[in-house]
Amino acid sequence: MGLIKFLKEKFGKKKDATTDKYEQGMEKSRKSFSSKLNNLSHKYKKVNQEYFEEVEEILIEADVGINLTLKVIESVLEKSKKERISDPEEINEVLMDELFAGYMDKGEYQNDLKFYEDRPTVLLVVGVNGVGKTTSIAKLAYRYINQGKKVMLAAADTFRAGAKEQLQTWANRLGIEIVTGADNADPASVAYDAAYKAKRENVDLLIVDTAGRLQTKNNLMAELAKIKRVISKEIEDAPQDTFLIIDATTGQNGVVQAKAFAEVTSLTGVVITKMDGTSKGGIILAIRDCLGVPVRFIGLGEKMDDLEEFDLEKYLYALCVGDKE
Ligand SMILES: Nc1nc2c(ncn2[C@@H]2O[C@H](COP(=O)(O)OP(=O)(O)OP(=O)(O)O)[C@@H](O)[C@H]2O)c(=O)[nH]1
Ligand SMILES: [Mg+2]
């Protein structure tokens, strides 16, 4: 059974709350992507060179990225020849299979954070300004508070005016502790204080916000390395995770940012925000293809509970199949 059929069977009949959220949040992407593919399969009776060229265009327009697009088209072409498939709808099934395989081939992944009995989990959050860093930190904190975890925040972005206050507001709203420093203080000193405190107060999760000044690559690299070093002095193996926040509406620019950050520090995951605000939902596949790093969570709206653990099947369902108009 092809992937589209499988997804229809799995999610089409009885939908859980998260599938519903994916469907609603990705409405713009779906309208653009799946309606274009559908139109194409009505336009052509049999696939030919032009058909594949049009599919290529659709994938690129959806921000799947040129590399992955070319790879996927090549495998679809190969399969269509080998298995003598000429029906456009069947070809679209093969296309979906290839997109799915392209993500999975990059290796095993677990999206949810891991917690430890004997020490806090520390999550370092990086990303340029305006991408939804603060909101995503608040959403992640909210998620784990609801799971009964003790969460603490650290405002290690001491550079940008107002960053501390913004995070403080969220900490107050969520009723959790936050560690801050003076304006322009060494971010590593804030991170160290927070790690020290988190360990002694038996915190389950410490989320550290950082300044994302990509324009000074070497400084950023040194700053993040120092933050990681001081945290690991207090807490073994910490930070266990480093998430990069990427705004889906920035398209290929987001992919460029991701590459740049991957050069300055090792990332364990990406959070894609504002998926609800773009019609180019393919960026998730492009990021995974370029970095190999999994997309761990996606932002599907502005509300606190509009952050979902990334699920490849639900994502592809919402992108290509879902029936919500
Ligand atoms: N629709 C939508 N809006 C989002 C999402 N995530 C964040 N936003 C909005 O994006 C805007 C910027 O979010 P912030 O969290 O302040 O971004 P930031 O990266 O912390 O920004 P600076 O601290 O100013 O650099 C806010 O208006 C958020 O409500 C999302 O998943 N969907
Ligand atoms: Mg912010």
**Measured from the CB, is residue 302 less than 6 Å from ligand 1?**
yes
Q: Which of 229, 289, 296 is nearest to 267 (CA)?
A: 296
Whether domain 121-311 has CATH 3.40.50.300: the reply is yes
Ligand nearest to the CA of 257: 1
Mean pLDDT of 89-94: 91
Residue ranges of the chain assigned to CATH 1.20.120.140: 16-104
Which atom of ligand 1 lies closest to the CA of 212? 25
**Measured from the CB, is residue 30 less than 6 Å from ligand 1?**
no
Cα(301) to centroid(ligand 1), Å: 10
Mean pLDDT of 200-215: 91
Mean pLDDT of 65-94: 93
Question: Greatest CA span in the chain, whole angstroms?
Answer: 68
Mean pLDDT of 123-134: 94
Ligand nearest to the CA of 131: 1
Ligand nearest to the CA of 300: 1
The pLDDT confidence band at residue 15, using thresholds 50, 70 and 90, is confident
pLDDT in tens, 241-271: 999 999 999 999 999 999 999 999 999 999 9
pLDDT in tens, 138-189: 999 999 999 999 999 999 998 888 889 999 999 999 999 999 999 889 999 9
> How far is CA 19 from its chain centroid?
16
Q: Which of 3, 21, 84, 102 is nearest to 47 (CA)?
A: 84
Mean pLDDT of the chain: 93
pLDDT in tens, 220-246: 999 999 999 999 999 999 999 999 999
- The answer to whether the beta carbons of residues 33 and 285 sit under 8 Å apart is no
What share of the chain in percent tops pLDDT 70? 99
pLDDT in tens, 2-12: 888 888 888 88
Cα(159) to centroid(ligand 2), Å: 11
Ligand nearest to the CA of 130: 1
Cα(218) to centroid(ligand 2), Å: 22
Element (H, E) at 218: helix 217-234
Q: 312-320 and 3-11 are packed helices; what angle lies between their axes, rounded to 10 degrees?
A: 100
**Measured from the CB, is residue 47 less than 6 Å from ligand 1?**
no
Whole-prediction pTM value? 0.95
Mean pLDDT of 71-90: 94
Mean pLDDT of 201-217: 90
- The answer to whether the beta carbons of residues 131 and 214 sit under 8 Å apart is no
The pLDDT confidence band at residue 108, using thresholds 50, 70 and 90, is confident
Cα(156) to centroid(ligand 2), Å: 11
Q: Which of 228, 146, 162, 160 is nearest to 195 (CA)?
A: 228
> How far is CA 154 from its chain centroid?
22
Mean pLDDT of 301-308: 96
Task: Match 């927070």 to its residue by tokens.
Answer: 194
Cα(302) to centroid(ligand 1), Å: 8
pLDDT at 218: 86
Residue 14 reports pLDDT greater than 80: no
Residue 215 reports pLDDT greater than 90: no
The Cα-based distances of 223 to 226, 243, 259, 293 in angstroms read 5, 16, 18, 22
Mutation to probe ligand 1, out of 170, 208, 246, 273 (largest number of atoms < 8 A from CB): 273
> What class, spelled out in words, does domain 16-104 have in CATH?
mainly alpha
Element (H, E) at 231: helix 217-234
Residue ranges of the chain assigned to CATH 3.40.50.300: 121-311
Mean pLDDT of 280-297: 94
pLDDT at 324: 52
The Cα-based distances of 189 to 119, 267, 274 in angstroms read 20, 22, 32
Cα(167) to centroid(ligand 1), Å: 12
Measure the CA–CA gap between 155 and 191, rounded to whole angstroms: 8
What share of the chain in percent tops pLDDT 90? 81
Which atom of ligand 1 lies closest to the CA of 209? 20
Cα(4) to centroid(ligand 2), Å: 38
